[in-house]
Amino acid sequence: MNRSFFAIFAFLQLTASLAAGDWPLGAFEVRNTAGFVQEGDVRRTIAVDRNTGTAEIAAIEGGLSVTIGGTQLHLFRIEEGLASIEWDASGTNLLHGIDIQALLGEETPQNIPVWGASLAWPGAGSVQMVLLPLRQNAYTGFLVSRPADQIVVRQMEFRKISGPSNRPVSSGSADRRRAGIAG
């Protein structure tokens, strides 16, 4: 894995306050969508975790507060955005920087904000975490740990929760009749 990915954490700098309306805030469904373990030059894919969790993302001075499983994490804006970080996603299902640029329709990586920090993660020790916007109502993130001569990289997706997940399925026609809409 490219050392420069980890170098971003040495250059974390606070920037102006994040305006609450700039990026989606509130409740998000979180999934681990890809990952790998690397020992030396050998990479082994981590099975996709089908479980979901819930995260709350809020604006704080200079960054974002992410609360997952009762643990509050503070991530700070990284100067130069996506241009400041590199990661070696070759041979994996992880997003590449160019994928994130394409999803956001940005021509320059400097225009894509990144928040990050080195953190004490419950059960994993010291980790590095970065969070990037993925779409209008989603983020992607990477959690990197280094247990026992390994590098473990997990890619996460945060999708905005926009209503109850147990909403009954509608056929549509009865709803249209109740609303007075011709079908």
Q: Has this prediction a pTM greater than 0.85?
A: no
Confidence band (pLDDT; 50, 70, 90) for 47? confident
| 39-61 mean pLDDT | 91
Burial class (CB in 10 A: 0-12, 13-18, 19+), 113: buried
Per DSSP, the three-state class of 67 is strand
CA–CA separation, 100 and 135 (whole Å): 9
Confidence band (pLDDT; 50, 70, 90) for 54? very high
pLDDT tens, 94-140?
A: 988 888 888 888 889 998 999 999 988 777 778 899 999 887 789 99
CA–CA separation, 77 and 96 (whole Å): 20
